[in-house]
Structure 1
Protein backbone atom coordinates (compact mmCIF):
# COMPACT_ATOMS: atom_id res chain seq x y z
CA UNK A 1 0.00 0.00 0.00
CA UNK A 2 1.56 3.32 -1.05
CA UNK A 3 2.33 5.85 1.69
CA UNK A 4 -0.20 8.65 1.97
CA UNK A 5 1.44 12.08 1.37
CA UNK A 6 -0.69 14.76 3.07
CA UNK A 7 1.34 17.71 1.71
CA UNK A 8 1.05 16.43 -1.84
CA UNK A 9 -2.68 15.96 -1.40
CA UNK A 10 -3.14 19.52 -0.07
CA UNK A 11 -1.11 20.95 -2.96
CA UNK A 12 -3.17 19.04 -5.51
CA UNK A 13 -6.42 20.15 -3.88
CA UNK A 14 -5.33 23.83 -3.81
CA UNK A 15 -4.41 23.74 -7.48
CA UNK A 16 -7.86 22.60 -8.53
CA UNK A 17 -9.88 25.40 -10.19
CA UNK A 18 -12.60 26.85 -8.00
CA UNK A 19 -16.00 26.63 -9.59
CA UNK A 20 -18.18 29.69 -9.19
CA UNK A 21 -21.40 28.96 -7.35
CA UNK A 22 -23.27 31.50 -9.48
CA UNK A 23 -22.52 32.93 -12.90
CA UNK A 24 -22.58 36.66 -13.63
CA UNK A 25 -26.16 36.61 -14.95
CA UNK A 26 -27.45 34.99 -11.76
CA UNK A 27 -25.48 37.45 -9.61
CA UNK A 28 -26.84 40.32 -11.69
CA UNK A 29 -30.41 39.13 -11.16
CA UNK A 30 -29.85 38.88 -7.39
CA UNK A 31 -28.27 42.35 -7.22
CA UNK A 32 -31.10 43.75 -9.33
CA UNK A 33 -33.68 42.28 -6.96
CA UNK A 34 -31.83 43.51 -3.86
CA UNK A 35 -31.41 46.99 -5.35
CA UNK A 36 -35.13 47.20 -6.13
CA UNK A 37 -35.93 46.22 -2.55
CA UNK A 38 -33.59 48.87 -1.07
CA UNK A 39 -35.11 51.57 -3.28
CA UNK A 40 -38.58 50.34 -2.32
CA UNK A 41 -37.74 50.63 1.38
CA UNK A 42 -36.67 54.27 0.97
CA UNK A 43 -39.80 54.96 -1.09
CA UNK A 44 -42.10 53.65 1.67
CA UNK A 45 -40.14 55.52 4.34
CA UNK A 46 -40.60 58.75 2.38
CA UNK A 47 -44.34 58.02 1.99
CA UNK A 48 -44.60 57.56 5.76
CA UNK A 49 -42.73 60.83 6.34
CA UNK A 50 -45.01 62.68 3.92
CA UNK A 51 -48.17 61.38 5.63
CA UNK A 52 -46.77 62.05 9.12
CA UNK A 53 -45.70 65.63 8.31
CA UNK A 54 -49.04 66.32 6.61
CA UNK A 55 -51.06 65.10 9.61
CA UNK A 56 -48.83 66.92 12.11
CA UNK A 57 -48.95 70.12 10.04
CA UNK A 58 -52.75 70.08 9.89
CA UNK A 59 -53.05 69.23 13.58
CA UNK A 60 -50.77 72.03 14.78
CA UNK A 61 -52.18 74.53 12.29
CA UNK A 62 -55.79 74.10 13.42
CA UNK A 63 -54.71 73.94 17.04
CA UNK A 64 -52.79 77.18 16.55
CA UNK A 65 -49.71 76.18 18.55
CA UNK A 66 -47.28 77.63 16.00
CA UNK A 67 -49.05 80.99 16.14
CA UNK A 68 -49.14 80.95 19.94
CA UNK A 69 -45.44 80.13 20.15
CA UNK A 70 -44.63 82.86 17.66
CA UNK A 71 -46.69 85.44 19.55
CA UNK A 72 -45.05 84.42 22.84
CA UNK A 73 -41.63 85.21 21.36
CA UNK A 74 -42.87 88.57 20.08
CA UNK A 75 -44.42 89.48 23.44
CA UNK A 76 -41.22 88.58 25.29
CA UNK A 77 -39.38 90.96 22.99
CA UNK A 78 -41.90 93.71 23.78
CA UNK A 79 -44.16 93.59 20.69
CA UNK A 80 -47.92 93.95 20.87
CA UNK A 81 -50.21 91.18 19.68
CA UNK A 82 -52.27 92.47 16.75
CA UNK A 83 -54.67 90.76 14.29
CA UNK A 84 -52.50 91.98 11.40
CA UNK A 85 -49.41 90.20 12.75
CA UNK A 86 -51.40 87.03 13.42
CA UNK A 87 -52.91 86.98 9.92
CA UNK A 88 -49.59 87.71 8.23
CA UNK A 89 -47.84 84.96 10.15
CA UNK A 90 -50.66 82.47 9.42
CA UNK A 91 -50.39 83.23 5.69
CA UNK A 92 -46.59 82.89 5.65
CA UNK A 93 -46.77 79.71 7.68
CA UNK A 94 -49.38 78.22 5.34
CA UNK A 95 -47.31 79.06 2.24
CA UNK A 96 -44.15 77.53 3.73
CA UNK A 97 -46.00 74.39 4.84
CA UNK A 98 -47.59 73.91 1.43
CA UNK A 99 -44.19 74.46 -0.24
CA UNK A 100 -42.61 71.92 2.10
CA UNK A 101 -45.28 69.32 1.36
CA UNK A 102 -45.03 69.91 -2.40
CA UNK A 103 -41.25 69.38 -2.30
CA UNK A 104 -41.63 66.23 -0.17
CA UNK A 105 -44.35 64.91 -2.49
CA UNK A 106 -42.07 65.57 -5.48
CA UNK A 107 -39.29 63.45 -3.95
CA UNK A 108 -41.76 60.71 -3.03
CA UNK A 109 -42.73 60.63 -6.71
CA UNK A 110 -39.05 60.61 -7.78
CA UNK A 111 -38.31 57.68 -5.44
CA UNK A 112 -41.26 55.77 -6.87
CA UNK A 113 -40.15 56.61 -10.40
CA UNK A 114 -36.63 55.35 -9.65
CA UNK A 115 -38.07 52.16 -8.18
CA UNK A 116 -40.17 51.55 -11.29
CA UNK A 117 -37.20 52.11 -13.58
CA UNK A 118 -34.95 49.76 -11.65
CA UNK A 119 -37.75 47.21 -11.57
CA UNK A 120 -37.87 46.89 -15.37
CA UNK A 121 -34.15 47.53 -16.00
CA UNK A 122 -32.23 44.52 -17.31
CA UNK A 123 -29.17 46.13 -18.85
CA UNK A 124 -26.14 46.12 -16.52
CA UNK A 125 -24.89 49.60 -17.36
CA UNK A 126 -28.44 50.91 -17.17
CA UNK A 127 -28.87 49.43 -13.70
CA UNK A 128 -25.62 51.05 -12.53
CA UNK A 129 -26.81 54.40 -13.92
CA UNK A 130 -30.18 54.05 -12.17
CA UNK A 131 -28.55 53.37 -8.81
CA UNK A 132 -26.21 56.35 -9.18
CA UNK A 133 -29.16 58.60 -10.09
CA UNK A 134 -31.10 57.30 -7.10
CA UNK A 135 -28.20 58.09 -4.76
CA UNK A 136 -28.11 61.64 -6.13
CA UNK A 137 -31.85 61.99 -5.57
CA UNK A 138 -31.52 60.85 -1.94
CA UNK A 139 -28.64 63.29 -1.34
CA UNK A 140 -30.67 66.11 -2.89
CA UNK A 141 -33.65 65.24 -0.67
CA UNK A 142 -31.51 65.38 2.48
CA UNK A 143 -29.87 68.66 1.44
CA UNK A 144 -33.17 70.33 0.55
CA UNK A 145 -34.72 69.16 3.84
CA UNK A 146 -31.93 70.97 5.70
CA UNK A 147 -32.23 74.06 3.47
CA UNK A 148 -35.99 74.18 4.12
CA UNK A 149 -35.35 74.22 7.85
CA UNK A 150 -32.86 77.07 7.45
CA UNK A 151 -35.36 78.94 5.24
CA UNK A 152 -38.15 78.50 7.80
CA UNK A 153 -35.93 79.80 10.60
CA UNK A 154 -34.60 82.72 8.56
CA UNK A 155 -38.07 83.87 7.47
CA UNK A 156 -39.35 83.47 11.03
CA UNK A 157 -36.47 85.60 12.37
CA UNK A 158 -36.85 88.30 9.70
CA UNK A 159 -40.58 88.54 10.34
CA UNK A 160 -40.03 88.98 14.08
CA UNK A 161 -37.57 91.81 13.43
CA UNK A 162 -39.99 93.34 10.90
CA UNK A 163 -42.86 93.16 13.42
CA UNK A 164 -40.75 94.88 16.07
CA UNK A 165 -39.72 97.64 13.67
CA UNK A 166 -43.31 98.18 12.49
CA UNK A 167 -44.28 98.93 16.11
CA UNK A 168 -41.15 101.04 16.69
CA UNK A 169 -39.98 98.70 19.43
CA UNK A 170 -36.34 98.35 20.34
CA UNK A 171 -35.89 95.28 22.52
CA UNK A 172 -33.26 95.20 25.24
CA UNK A 173 -29.85 94.10 24.06
CA UNK A 174 -29.91 91.19 26.49
CA UNK A 175 -33.31 89.97 25.19
CA UNK A 176 -32.21 90.33 21.56
CA UNK A 177 -28.96 88.49 22.27
CA UNK A 178 -30.81 85.65 23.99
CA UNK A 179 -33.23 85.47 21.04
CA UNK A 180 -30.45 85.33 18.42
CA UNK A 181 -28.45 82.74 20.39
CA UNK A 182 -31.62 80.70 20.88
CA UNK A 183 -32.37 80.75 17.14
CA UNK A 184 -28.81 79.71 16.24
CA UNK A 185 -28.71 76.90 18.81
CA UNK A 186 -32.18 75.63 17.90
CA UNK A 187 -31.38 75.68 14.18
CA UNK A 188 -28.03 73.95 14.70
CA UNK A 189 -29.57 71.26 16.92
CA UNK A 190 -32.41 70.70 14.45
CA UNK A 191 -29.95 70.32 11.55
CA UNK A 192 -27.92 67.85 13.59
CA UNK A 193 -31.04 65.80 14.42
CA UNK A 194 -32.13 65.78 10.77
CA UNK A 195 -28.65 64.69 9.69
CA UNK A 196 -28.57 61.92 12.32
CA UNK A 197 -32.03 60.74 11.32
CA UNK A 198 -31.18 60.44 7.64
CA UNK A 199 -27.77 59.00 8.51
CA UNK A 200 -29.39 56.20 10.51
CA UNK A 201 -32.56 55.53 8.52
CA UNK A 202 -31.40 56.22 4.97
CA UNK A 203 -27.70 55.64 5.57
CA UNK A 204 -28.06 51.94 6.48
CA UNK A 205 -29.99 51.23 3.28
CA UNK A 206 -27.67 53.36 1.15
CA UNK A 207 -24.60 51.48 2.41
CA UNK A 208 -26.13 48.21 1.25
CA UNK A 209 -27.00 49.80 -2.07
CA UNK A 210 -23.38 50.99 -2.38
CA UNK A 211 -22.16 47.40 -1.94
CA UNK A 212 -24.46 46.31 -4.75
CA UNK A 213 -23.12 49.10 -6.92
CA UNK A 214 -19.52 48.00 -6.32
CA UNK A 215 -20.38 44.42 -7.27
CA UNK A 216 -22.21 45.56 -10.39
CA UNK A 217 -19.20 47.61 -11.48
CA UNK A 218 -16.96 44.57 -10.95
CA UNK A 219 -19.20 42.47 -13.20
CA UNK A 220 -19.21 45.26 -15.78
CA UNK A 221 -15.39 45.42 -15.76
CA UNK A 222 -15.20 41.63 -16.27
CA UNK A 223 -17.51 41.82 -19.28
CA UNK A 224 -15.37 44.52 -20.83
Structure 2
Protein backbone atom coordinates (compact mmCIF):
# COMPACT_ATOMS: atom_id res chain seq x y z
CA UNK A 1 0.00 0.00 0.00
CA UNK A 2 1.48 3.37 -1.04
CA UNK A 3 1.87 6.48 1.11
CA UNK A 4 -1.17 8.18 -0.38
CA UNK A 5 -3.48 5.29 0.48
CA UNK A 6 -2.16 5.24 4.06
CA UNK A 7 -2.77 8.97 4.42
CA UNK A 8 -6.30 8.64 3.07
CA UNK A 9 -7.14 5.85 5.48
CA UNK A 10 -5.75 7.89 8.35
CA UNK A 11 -7.71 10.94 7.21
CA UNK A 12 -10.96 8.97 7.00
CA UNK A 13 -10.34 7.49 10.44
CA UNK A 14 -10.00 10.90 12.11
CA UNK A 15 -13.18 12.13 13.71
CA UNK A 16 -12.66 15.91 14.04
CA UNK A 17 -12.96 18.47 11.27
CA UNK A 18 -9.64 20.03 12.26
CA UNK A 19 -7.84 16.74 11.86
CA UNK A 20 -9.63 16.13 8.56
CA UNK A 21 -8.52 19.56 7.34
CA UNK A 22 -4.88 18.92 8.28
CA UNK A 23 -4.86 15.45 6.75
CA UNK A 24 -6.62 16.77 3.68
CA UNK A 25 -3.81 19.29 3.21
CA UNK A 26 -1.31 16.44 3.37
CA UNK A 27 -3.24 14.32 0.89
CA UNK A 28 -3.94 17.00 -1.74
CA UNK A 29 -0.32 17.54 -2.94
CA UNK A 30 0.10 13.79 -3.45
CA UNK A 31 -3.18 13.52 -5.33
CA UNK A 32 -2.15 16.53 -7.40
CA UNK A 33 1.14 14.84 -8.23
CA UNK A 34 -0.60 11.60 -9.19
CA UNK A 35 -3.12 13.38 -11.42
CA UNK A 36 -0.33 15.28 -13.16
CA UNK A 37 1.63 12.05 -13.64
CA UNK A 38 -1.39 10.26 -15.16
CA UNK A 39 -2.05 13.06 -17.66
CA UNK A 40 1.65 13.14 -18.51
CA UNK A 41 1.52 9.39 -19.23
CA UNK A 42 -1.57 9.91 -21.42
CA UNK A 43 0.37 12.57 -23.32
CA UNK A 44 3.31 10.22 -23.90
CA UNK A 45 0.95 7.47 -25.07
CA UNK A 46 -0.65 9.86 -27.55
CA UNK A 47 2.83 10.75 -28.90
CA UNK A 48 3.65 7.05 -29.28
CA UNK A 49 0.35 6.44 -31.06
CA UNK A 50 1.00 9.32 -33.46
CA UNK A 51 4.44 7.92 -34.33
CA UNK A 52 2.97 4.41 -34.71
CA UNK A 53 0.28 5.50 -37.20
CA UNK A 54 2.74 7.62 -39.18
CA UNK A 55 5.14 4.69 -39.54
CA UNK A 56 2.32 2.24 -40.29
CA UNK A 57 0.91 4.42 -43.07
CA UNK A 58 4.13 5.87 -44.43
CA UNK A 59 6.36 2.82 -44.79
CA UNK A 60 4.12 0.80 -47.18
CA UNK A 61 3.37 3.97 -49.16
CA UNK A 62 7.03 4.81 -49.81
CA UNK A 63 8.23 1.19 -50.01
CA UNK A 64 5.74 -0.16 -52.54
CA UNK A 65 4.75 1.40 -55.86
CA UNK A 66 1.91 -1.10 -56.17
CA UNK A 67 0.48 0.01 -52.81
CA UNK A 68 0.60 3.66 -53.94
CA UNK A 69 -1.21 2.77 -57.14
CA UNK A 70 -3.91 0.87 -55.23
CA UNK A 71 -4.46 3.78 -52.87
CA UNK A 72 -4.68 6.23 -55.77
CA UNK A 73 -7.26 3.98 -57.46
CA UNK A 74 -9.23 3.61 -54.23
CA UNK A 75 -9.48 7.34 -53.51
CA UNK A 76 -9.67 8.51 -57.11
CA UNK A 77 -6.39 10.45 -57.06
CA UNK A 78 -3.45 11.18 -54.78
CA UNK A 79 -4.76 14.65 -53.85
CA UNK A 80 -7.81 13.16 -52.12
CA UNK A 81 -5.60 10.70 -50.27
CA UNK A 82 -3.23 13.50 -49.22
CA UNK A 83 -6.13 15.62 -47.93
CA UNK A 84 -7.54 12.73 -45.89
CA UNK A 85 -4.08 11.94 -44.46
CA UNK A 86 -3.44 15.56 -43.47
CA UNK A 87 -6.88 15.80 -41.85
CA UNK A 88 -6.34 12.59 -39.84
CA UNK A 89 -2.94 13.66 -38.58
CA UNK A 90 -4.26 17.15 -37.79
CA UNK A 91 -6.89 15.58 -35.51
CA UNK A 92 -4.27 13.50 -33.70
CA UNK A 93 -1.92 16.49 -33.35
CA UNK A 94 -4.79 18.57 -31.95
CA UNK A 95 -5.49 15.82 -29.42
CA UNK A 96 -1.78 15.69 -28.47
CA UNK A 97 -1.72 19.47 -28.03
CA UNK A 98 -4.85 19.48 -25.84
CA UNK A 99 -3.41 16.74 -23.63
CA UNK A 100 -0.11 18.59 -23.32
CA UNK A 101 -2.01 21.75 -22.41
CA UNK A 102 -3.98 19.84 -19.76
CA UNK A 103 -0.78 18.41 -18.30
CA UNK A 104 0.89 21.83 -18.08
CA UNK A 105 -2.21 23.37 -16.51
CA UNK A 106 -2.60 20.59 -13.93
CA UNK A 107 1.09 20.85 -13.06
CA UNK A 108 0.73 24.46 -11.89
CA UNK A 109 -2.80 24.28 -10.45
CA UNK A 110 -2.87 24.63 -6.66
CA UNK A 111 -6.64 24.76 -6.21
CA UNK A 112 -8.64 21.55 -5.69
CA UNK A 113 -11.70 22.84 -7.55
CA UNK A 114 -9.66 23.89 -10.59
CA UNK A 115 -7.82 20.59 -10.52
CA UNK A 116 -11.16 18.75 -10.63
CA UNK A 117 -12.22 20.86 -13.61
CA UNK A 118 -9.00 19.99 -15.45
CA UNK A 119 -9.48 16.28 -14.71
CA UNK A 120 -13.00 16.43 -16.15
CA UNK A 121 -11.69 18.25 -19.22
CA UNK A 122 -8.97 15.64 -19.74
CA UNK A 123 -11.54 12.85 -19.53
CA UNK A 124 -13.67 14.57 -22.17
CA UNK A 125 -10.68 14.99 -24.49
CA UNK A 126 -9.92 11.25 -24.29
CA UNK A 127 -13.60 10.35 -24.72
CA UNK A 128 -14.04 12.45 -27.88
CA UNK A 129 -10.77 11.21 -29.32
CA UNK A 130 -11.75 7.56 -28.84
CA UNK A 131 -15.19 8.21 -30.39
CA UNK A 132 -13.52 9.91 -33.37
CA UNK A 133 -11.17 6.95 -33.91
CA UNK A 134 -13.99 4.43 -33.68
CA UNK A 135 -16.02 6.33 -36.28
CA UNK A 136 -12.98 6.63 -38.57
CA UNK A 137 -12.20 2.92 -38.15
CA UNK A 138 -15.76 2.00 -39.15
CA UNK A 139 -15.79 4.36 -42.15
CA UNK A 140 -12.34 3.21 -43.32
CA UNK A 141 -13.32 -0.46 -43.11
CA UNK A 142 -16.65 0.15 -44.88
CA UNK A 143 -14.99 2.19 -47.64
CA UNK A 144 -12.30 -0.46 -48.16
CA UNK A 145 -14.94 -3.19 -48.44
CA UNK A 146 -17.02 -1.11 -50.86
CA UNK A 147 -13.98 -0.46 -53.04
CA UNK A 148 -13.06 -4.14 -53.07
CA UNK A 149 -16.59 -5.18 -54.07
CA UNK A 150 -17.19 -2.66 -56.83
CA UNK A 151 -13.76 -1.73 -58.15
CA UNK A 152 -11.89 -5.03 -58.00
CA UNK A 153 -12.75 -6.90 -61.24
CA UNK A 154 -12.13 -10.36 -59.81
CA UNK A 155 -14.29 -9.81 -56.71
CA UNK A 156 -17.09 -7.92 -58.51
CA UNK A 157 -17.37 -10.64 -61.16
CA UNK A 158 -17.84 -13.24 -58.43
CA UNK A 159 -20.53 -11.20 -56.69
CA UNK A 160 -22.34 -10.66 -60.00
CA UNK A 161 -23.17 -14.37 -59.95
CA UNK A 162 -24.72 -14.25 -56.46
CA UNK A 163 -28.45 -14.61 -55.90
CA UNK A 164 -30.40 -12.11 -53.81
CA UNK A 165 -30.22 -14.45 -50.82
CA UNK A 166 -26.47 -14.83 -51.16
CA UNK A 167 -26.04 -11.05 -51.43
CA UNK A 168 -28.14 -10.58 -48.29
CA UNK A 169 -26.02 -13.07 -46.34
CA UNK A 170 -22.86 -11.40 -47.66
CA UNK A 171 -24.10 -7.99 -46.53
CA UNK A 172 -24.84 -9.37 -43.05
CA UNK A 173 -21.36 -10.90 -42.86
CA UNK A 174 -19.77 -7.64 -43.95
CA UNK A 175 -21.62 -5.72 -41.25
CA UNK A 176 -20.57 -8.34 -38.70
CA UNK A 177 -16.93 -8.00 -39.76
CA UNK A 178 -17.21 -4.21 -39.57
CA UNK A 179 -18.65 -4.55 -36.04
CA UNK A 180 -15.83 -6.89 -34.97
CA UNK A 181 -13.26 -4.51 -36.47
CA UNK A 182 -14.66 -1.55 -34.52
CA UNK A 183 -14.94 -3.69 -31.37
CA UNK A 184 -11.25 -4.57 -31.59
CA UNK A 185 -10.43 -0.87 -31.88
CA UNK A 186 -12.63 -0.14 -28.87
CA UNK A 187 -10.90 -2.85 -26.81
CA UNK A 188 -7.53 -1.46 -27.89
CA UNK A 189 -8.37 2.03 -26.64
CA UNK A 190 -10.07 0.72 -23.52
CA UNK A 191 -6.92 -1.18 -22.65
CA UNK A 192 -4.58 1.74 -23.36
CA UNK A 193 -6.58 4.63 -21.96
CA UNK A 194 -9.15 2.90 -19.75
CA UNK A 195 -6.82 2.04 -16.87
CA UNK A 196 -5.38 5.54 -16.67
CA UNK A 197 -8.80 7.19 -16.96
CA UNK A 198 -10.12 5.05 -14.11
CA UNK A 199 -7.21 6.21 -11.94
CA UNK A 200 -7.87 9.80 -12.95
CA UNK A 201 -11.55 9.36 -12.11
CA UNK A 202 -10.62 7.91 -8.72
CA UNK A 203 -8.51 10.99 -8.00
CA UNK A 204 -11.44 13.17 -9.01
CA UNK A 205 -13.73 11.42 -6.53
CA UNK A 206 -11.18 11.77 -3.75
CA UNK A 207 -10.79 15.48 -4.51
CA UNK A 208 -14.56 15.91 -4.22
CA UNK A 209 -14.36 14.40 -0.74
CA UNK A 210 -11.65 16.88 0.21
CA UNK A 211 -13.83 19.75 -1.02
CA UNK A 212 -16.75 18.72 1.20
Report the TM range for the smaller structure's normalisation: 0.7 to 0.9
Q: What pairs up with 1:113-132 in 2 under 5 angstroms?
A: 113-132=101-120
CA distance in 2, matches of 1:181, 1:94: 32
Describe the SS at the equivalent of 2:110: coil
Larger radius of gyration: 1
Q: Which has the higher helix share?
A: 2
For structure 1, list consecutive stretches of 5 or more residues without a partner in the other structure. Answer: 1-15, 72-83
Deviates more, 1:181-190 or 1:134-143: 181-190
In structure 2, the CA distance between the partners of 1:25 and 1:133, relative to structure 1 (3 Å rule), is same
CA distance in 2, matches of 1:118, 1:44: 16
Correspondence for 1:63: 63
Deviation at 1:123, TM superposition (A): 1.2
TM-score (norm 1): 0.71
The C-alpha deviation readout for 1:24-70, integer Å capped at 9, x for no partner, is 22211111100000001111011000001001110122234984896
More contact order relative to length (CA 8 Å, sep ≥ 6): 1
Describe the SS at the equivalent of 1:212: helix
Deviation at 1:197, TM superposition (A): 1.3
Describe the SS at the equivalent of 1:122: coil
In structure 2, the CA distance between the partners of 1:219 and 1:40, relative to structure 1 (3 Å rule), is same
Aligned equivalent of 2:176, options 185, 195, 200: 185
CA distance in 2, matches of 1:62, 1:178: 38
Whether the 8 Å contact between 1:42 and 1:202 is mirrored in structure 2 is yes
Correspondence for 2:100: 112
4+ long deviations beyond 6 Å:
none
Give the root-mean-square deviation of aligned CA atoms. 3.4
Correspondence for 2:87: 99
